[in-house]
A and B are shown apart, each in its own frame.
Chain A
Amino acid sequence: MFGRFRGFFSYDISIDLGTANTLVYVRGEGIVLDEPSVVAIRKEKGSDNKSIAAVGTDAKMMLGRTPGNITAIRPMKDGVIADFTITEKMLQHFIRKVHENKFKFLSPSPRVLICVPCGATQVERRAIKESADGAGAREVYLIEEPMAAAIGAGMPISEAWGSMVLDIGGGTTEIAILSLNGIVYSNSVRIGGDRFDEAIIAYVRRNYGTLIGEATAERIKHEIGSAYPSAEVREIEVRGRNLAEGIPRSFTLNSNEILEALQEPLAGIVAAVKTALEQTPPELGADIAERGMVLTGGGALLCDLDRLLVEETGLPVIIAEDPLTCVARGGGRALEIMDEHGGDLFSLE
């Protein structure tokens, strides 16, 4: 009863609890929070007491740069919860932050819709639900990520027409074929932006004998990463620790090298797409061949990834508008649709 009362002073929010970034969409206001899913924890000297030092952008700055008593960790791994308590704290922090300007005397108690990877097990789903409950949510709904991504991208999923969505997130890549508001086929592979970074780190260590951090690898990926060879070759200067000398050195990488580095994870994604197309019923497959598949998620921003998929599958490939926020926006829209048409349209429970 009191929770419901507090609910009057809370928003309806949709959370894209991603491995790399957490986005919060507030109904009626749009995306209000987009921060890395990183929490920095300070351990007090002489005791076992732990406290949160920073969450989000501040904590990401600390990643790999922390002193002994602070650890910056990413509580989500491969799209699911790796550290339950920290995830709960992080969600609590984000929910509070979103409600900062709403009503300060009561702790917020919003209705929350969270997107989960379609490959998540029941235990993993339960963990996400419970952590949102623990963070103060009044009601928690779960929705499959590709469904939210498709709604967010504006695909006509309610039609009797096959739509294929490929959501490349930080930890996972979700592939789904949707029709008539339902998922016909879905698959989740644990390849995502993080795997791209790891591949770059491994490549640089192998070919240059130099160790670079995750943050640097991500910067390289953003600036010169590409999925398909192009005539234009871009370069970037990076600094890392030379393994042989143990001294930081600076060197130059070009886009062709990164393309080579990314071959392995990209092949994994392409293989997953091909498997999905193989498993698709022929009618829906024909629909997809006519209109094409839609790319969402941060991975869609990798240069020429659409080109690669066009060449590999022979289907038209479309990058959604604002691919990073598709899932969160779709979740928000799903909340609205649930209110309009009843709760059992998308909810997994």
Chain B
Amino acid sequence: MNEEQKQLSEEDEQSVLEQFCSQLKVARETKGLTIKSVATDLRLNSELIQALENNDMDKLPSKIFVMGYLRSYARYLGVDESGLKQLDLSELHQTVDMKASFSEKTEKTSKAFSIRIMTYLVTIGMVALLAVWWISKQPSLTEISSVESYLSHDTDNALNLPDKTTESVIELNSSEISDSAPDEPVTASGAAIEPTVTPEKDVIETEPTVYETVVSENNSPEVIAEPVAQSELNITYLEDSWTEVSDASGDRLLYGLYKKGREVTVQGVAPFSLFFGYASGVVVTHNEEQFDHAAFHRNGMARFKVGTAEDNHLPNEH
């Protein structure tokens, strides 16, 4: 609506201006004056006078000058200049317009009043949210400390385990530990009840330490058949290579320089992290599938991971 009104007023303005300009021309001609004589008397360029009479805005400078020329021209010819008065105010707003093309490097975002208020509101809001979060966090801190004390108690039990060396105890403890894990207590306890079901990662992580200590003391094959999902990694050396292999549980399975022609098979929890000092001289086979590690080579060395958690199988599944 506003736009329309503005448009209209501009059109009106244009027509008033045109009318005034032609009025000037008529007045000059009736007085028998030439453009040149007028230009000399007004100290203006005769081209400017011509442009004024024809209302040729492209040839004229900015509006303040045009208004001034028109007024002095009208006064010179004795034409009533009150017609210009109604133009004045509407023109004014347009003339006070400036492009500051030389200040682009100092250009910065406008510090509009509303933007400033918005910034302050947002800041205040964020501070308020932080305060709310802090207050709501206070009781949960005590909860966490109680959980922690419980956990430490359990790990003490687990550390005592190797002395007892019975499967049932191991099972019980592993389930207890997994129970105490706050993230997935339900699935973990489920795994403890029915150990043949694919266990969760949390259970696995706590397992190997227990497993190894048991192996060292008991040396019994039943313990190896303990339901721990594992996968098999086979490394064939075509050249000498430094090798570091560790499995998902963080156990270091291989560490050291392995000679040309050797073939090593390790079992562990996938994914395995491997590092080879001379990767192109090594063939890696995971679960009887050759793994192409060419993409990881960097300066002859390679660091990569093999397998996923899904590749783990229980030994009795084979």
Chain A residues packing against B (C-beta within 8 Å): 8, 151-158, 180-181, 290-292, 294, 306, 310, 314-322, 329-330, 333, 337, 339-345
Contact = CB atoms under 8 A, between A and B. Distances in A.
B77 to A, nearest CB: 15
A182 B124 CA distance: 42
A341 B96 contact: no
Contacts of A181: 100, 102-103
Contact of B44 (A316, A321, A330): A316
A165 B95 CA distance: 15
Given A310-B43, A318-B72, A158 B100 contact: yes
A341 B107 contact: yes
Given A154-B92, A291-B61, A316 B102 contact: no
Nearest to A314: B43
Nearest to B88: A321
Given A8-B113, A181-B100, 4 more contacts: A155-B64, A294-B68, A306-B72, A318-B71
- A-B pairs with lowest CB-CB distance, top 4: A318-B68, A154-B95, A342-B106, A341-B103
A151 B62 CA distance: 13
B103 A316 contact: no
A292 B100 contact: no
A151 B64 CA distance: 11
Contacts of A294: 64-65, 68
B92 A322 contact: yes
B34 to A, nearest CB: 19
Contact of A157 (B94, B98, B106): B98
Given A151-B98, A337-B100, A318 B65 contact: yes
Contacts of A339: 110-112
A304 to B, nearest CB: 10
A268 B71 CA distance: 26
B117 interface: yes
Contact of A158 (B71, B96, B98): B98
B117 A156 contact: no
A348 B299 CA distance: 62
A340 B100 contact: yes
Most A CB within 10 A of own CB, among B45, B67, B68, B97: B68
Contact of A340 (B67, B110, B113, B116): B110
B201 interface: no
A65 B65 CA distance: 43
Interface residues of B, number: 37
B96 A151 contact: yes
Interface in B21-66: 42-45, 61-65
Given A329-B96, A333-B96, A156 B61 contact: yes
Interface string B270-309: 0000000000000000000000000000000000000000
What DSSP secondary structure best describes chain B's contact surface? helix
A317 B71 CA distance: 11
Interface in B100-122: 100-104, 106-108, 110-113, 116-117
Contacts of A291: 61, 65
Interface of B: 42-45, 61-65, 67-69, 71-72, 88, 91-92, 94-104, 106-108, 110-113, 116-117
A157 B106 CA distance: 18
Contact of A321 (B64, B106, B107, B110): B64
A316 B98 contact: no
B221 to A, nearest CB: 77
A152 B96 contact: yes
Nearest to A8: B117
A291 to B, nearest CB: 5
Given A156-B62, A290-B45, A315-B43, A341 B68 contact: no
29 contacts: A154-B92, A158-B99, A158-B102, A181-B103, A291-B65, A294-B65, A316-B43, A316-B69, A317-B72, A318-B69, A319-B68, A319-B71, A320-B64, A321-B67, A321-B88, A322-B92, A329-B96, A330-B96, A333-B98, A339-B111, A340-B100, A340-B107, A341-B107, A341-B108, A342-B103, A342-B107, A342-B108, A343-B106, A345-B103
B74 to A, nearest CB: 13
Most B CB within 10 A of own CB, among A157, A158, A333, A341: A341
A98 B270 CA distance: 78
Nearest to B98: A158
Contacts of A329: 96
A345 B106 contact: yes
B105 to A, nearest CB: 8
A151 B98 CA distance: 8
A69 to B, nearest CB: 45
Contacts of B117: 8
B63 A341 contact: no
Contacts of A156: 61-62, 98
A154 B111 CA distance: 24
A321 B92 contact: yes
Contacts of A319: 68, 71
A197 B47 CA distance: 41
Contacts of B68: 292, 294, 316-320
Contacts of B113: 8
Nearest to A306: B72
A303 to B, nearest CB: 12
Contacts of B62: 154-156
A345 B101 CA distance: 11
Contacts of B112: 339
B22 to A, nearest CB: 22
A119 to B, nearest CB: 25
